[in-house]
Amino acid sequence: MDNRPIGVFDSGLGGLTAVKEITSLLPGESVIYFGDTGRVPYGTRSRQTILQYTREAIAFLKFQGVKRILVACGTASTVLEEAAVDAGLPVTGVITAACRKAVMATKNQKIGLIATARSIRSGLYEKNIATLLPGTQVESMACPLLVPVIENGRIGIDDPVTKILVSEYLAPIKAQGVDTLILGCTHYPIIRDIIQAEMGPDVTLVDAGAAAASELREALRESGTLSPSPRGELKFFVSDIPEGFATVGSVFLGRSIGERVEKVSIQHYVK
């Protein structure tokens, strides 16, 4: 038993998709969330920059006394091996969990992948899928405009801008007849309904953050570090306070988080 909180990190709102799953699967766990809202989006930046940001976030969460960290950001997960080398506590990402879930779901061995440009360029999803289920076809598409529209709250099922973008990005993937689609950026499940409507009801959507949260539950069980508390607490830190974070975050989580969001100077924690 370990009642210290779990640290969760993303460039902005996306990691809340993992938090939602954690609060549902593990209601006794407390979560300290860091959203790097002052520097979002990550997906169009260089590997070196993302590495630095990820190290800073890990150092900050560690300083907060968390028992482990879930990097609930597909883009930051691409640099995890390097970023977490000397972390001194367990740090996991979303990529392997999402790939495991996708290969279990696919029947025709055709998997679609949407993610940020940096995540697609890393080739890590393809690499994992090729190991888990050799011969699987992966159709990928970078969707650089989706994170900014989501951060700006354009998340309604009928939002015309978001619908057009989703339709354009998904057209080549749809044309390949995939039966499973990995939402490889943790922001995308926030517009899940729009994506599902575009892909049709027969395509299984894999939520990377949720997949990682469910593997996190197993890891806590196996290591005997589940929280003994009946109800955990949520605390949110951001690197800038944009109006949208609390508003969109509250809508997505279905509970008000405005009073629990605090600004932090993230650069100060790396030694």
Q: Which residues of the shown chain bind ligand DGL in the complex (CB under 6 A)?
A: 10-12, 14, 40-43, 73-75, 116, 119, 147, 185-187
Question: Of 23 and 116, which CB lies nearer to ligand DGL in the complex structure?
Answer: 116
Distance CA 260, CA 77 (A): 26
CB of 55 to ligand DGL, least distance (A): 16
The torsion angle over the Cα atoms of residues 247, 13, 262 and 68, rounded to 10 degrees, is 140
**Pick from 73, 122, 129: nearest CA to 96:** 129
CB of 173 to ligand DGL, least distance (A): 17
Distance CA 269, CA 265 (A): 8
CB of 9 to ligand DGL, least distance (A): 10
Question: Of 74 and 242, which CB lies nearer to ligand DGL in the complex structure?
Answer: 74
Question: Of 28 and 38, which CB lies nearer to ligand DGL in the complex structure?
Answer: 38
Phi, psi of 70 (to 5 degrees): -110, 115
CB of 146 to ligand DGL, least distance (A): 9
In Å, what is the CA distance from 128 to each residue of 110, 116, 179, 236? Answer: 14, 17, 18, 32
**Pick from 76, 70, 81: nearest CA to 41:** 76
Helices (H) and strands (E) in the chain, counts: 12, 10
Question: Of 12 and 112, which CB lies nearer to ligand DGL in the complex structure?
Answer: 12
Distance CA 258, CA 260 (A): 5
- List, by residue number, the catalytic residues: 73, 185
